[in-house]
Amino acid sequence: MESEFKQQGNHVVSIPEVNTEELARDMKEEIERCTKGLESNPGAMSSRCIYEVPLRFKDNNGSSYRPRIVSIGPKYYYDTDLKLYSDCKYQCLGFLLKRNRVKGLQDYLDRLRPCETKARECYPEEMIQDFRPPGDGDFLEMMVLDASFILELFYMFQDPRLGPLKADEPPASLKWRLPYFYVDLILLQNQIPFFVLQELFDISKMPDDPSLSLLALRFFNNVMSRPNEVIELYGNPKNPPLHLLDLVRSSLIPCHQKPPQRDENKQIQSIPCISQLRRSGIRVRPGKAESFLAVKFKRGVVEMPSITINDFMRYLLLNCVAFEQCHKSCPKHVTVYATFLDCLVNTSSDVQYLREHNVIDNHLADDDKVARFINSLGKDVTFDIRDFYLSKLFNDVDKHYRNNFCVNWASLRRRYCNTRWWFISACAAILLLLLTFAQTFYTIIGYVHPKK
């Protein structure tokens, strides 16, 4: 019996039902044959990009770094709590194999076999210690299964050519789990190297497929809801991403953002919370930019593009900060932004102000929960102030905040201009002053030049 995915246009992809046990057996046999005699390259340079989250972060948000339903990569591969979707991974591998009938399992293994040593170097030793040495097959099996699962998710849930999915076809039957998939695929400890995905994608893609980066960003945009032109802008990055988390994180960095100029003598002045900034006349308003990282300050106004704080964004920001703290060579934009938010927000009243001014779109329980999250996000982070991309903003805000004229003028406005009637009152007072001046003027004129 066959099931079909209806496609737009003249193409129909026909996919037979997959016997997962038979596929698993065949896969193991192919791995043993193809990897026989494979030896690791002891001279390979380390390219570590997937890390254990530091304990100082796990103490604050431990559950935010652990997958909830699906394991990707070696960290949780043998976790019995995440074995529920093992059969689904074999189903996805079968779908991917049948999508392009020219290719078979052996093609996938042959393509990924030279990548095994390089892929192992992307992980710390403690993550892969439960896997056998290169050539024994279990690590390669993990890469093929996880990569095929991710690619099939990308295809099935956002590729219009595949048409509507039937409710009883895996993984269409898991569609209600999509919110969990979005989160699990951007966790730092739950990654496989991007070049592994790219290798598998290159031999399974259709002729008119977009780039893998664009395909991935479109998938995640189902939950991030960014404009299509922004997604297209970052769909072909100049530098290959390290993994899916790095791809999404890099797409948040404004493309026009100039790299901060390193200054050995640079000093960064801290800024107080938004409640205190308002006392010196500093206001906040939503800015227009492709990313919430593009914060600006001019003429006493902090322009902050709106950011939606929901469950996905909470996991994304926490894992981006953890990645930037571990990967020393990447820019620390999200870490700096987290520090900036932590400075602005002390209490729920600060969140309320930002929410009322359309800077924060709160999808969590309440403002107090957002405040606690922001304070934990900026806790225990370190960075080089010479690469602080918001250094000018911090110093300009601090200079404005300490300006006595600005403070006094803001205090005057709060005292006398804090009601809806202040403009009418001011006009009436000015008019009364002008009438008094006119009366005095004509009185003096009458006294100096009396009428005869």
Q: What average pLDDT does the segment 126-147 reach? A: 85
| Nearest Cα residue to 233 out of 290, 280, 185, 286 | 290
Measured from the Cβ of residue 46, the count of other Cβ atoms closer than 10 Å reads 9
Q: How many CA atoms lie within 13 A of 160 on its CB side?
A: 5
pLDDT for the residue 235: 85
- pLDDT classification of 337: cutoffs 50, 70, 90: very high
Q: Regarding predicted confidence, which is higher, 272 or 158?
A: 272
Phi first, then psi, for residue 405 (nearest 5°) are: -65, -45
Q: Reduce the DSSP state of residue 298 to 3 states and report it.
A: strand
Q: How do residues 6-47 score in pLDDT, each as one tens digit? A: 333 333 333 345 566 666 666 666 555 544 544 444 433 358
CA distances from 16 to 5, 95, 101, 132 (A): 11, 8, 12, 33
Return the pLDDT at 1.
36
Whether the pLDDT of residue 422 is over 70: the answer is no
**Cα 318 from Cα 327, distance rounded (Å):** 14
Q: Looking at per-residue confidence, does 234 or 84 come out higher?
A: 234
- Tell the residue number behind the tokens 């737009």, with chain if given: 8
The average pLDDT across 368-382 equals 90
State yes or no: pLDDT of 438 exceeds 90: no
Give the pLDDT band of residue 290 (cuts 50, 70, 90): confident
pLDDT in tens, 203-229: 888 788 889 999 999 999 989 989 888
Confidence bin at 90 (pLDDT 50/70/90): confident
Give the integer Cα–Cα distance in Å for 412 and 439: 29
Q: For residue 261, what pLDDT is reported?
A: 62
Q: How confident is the model at residue 98 (pLDDT cuts 50, 70, 90)?
A: confident
Please list, in sequence order, all residues whose beta carbon lies within 8 angstroms of the beta carbon of residue 451, skipping any fewer than 6 positions away. Answer: none
* Number of other CB atoms surrounding residue 106 within 10 Å: 14
Question: Residue 120: its pLDDT value, please?
Answer: 93
* pTM for the predicted model, two decimal places: 0.80
Q: How far apart are the first and last CA of the chain?
A: 120
Please state, as a whole number, how many other Cβ atoms lie within 10 Å of the Cβ of residue 331.
17
Q: What is the DSSP letter of 20?
A: H
| 305 confidence band (pLDDT: 50, 70, 90) | very high
Instruction: Take residue 316 and report the two structure tokens written for it.
Output: 């994304």
Q: Is the pLDDT reported for residue 189 higher than 80? A: yes
* Exposed / middle / buried, residue 389 (Cβ in 10 Å: 0-12, 13-18, 19+): buried
* Torsion angle in degrees (nearest 10) through CA of 442, 443, 447, 451: 60
Q: Where are the alpha helices (DSSP H) in 116-235?
A: 116-120, 125-128, 138-156, 178-184, 194-204, 212-224, 228-233
In the chain, % of residues over pLDDT 70: 74
Q: What is the mean pLDDT of residues 93-112?
A: 77
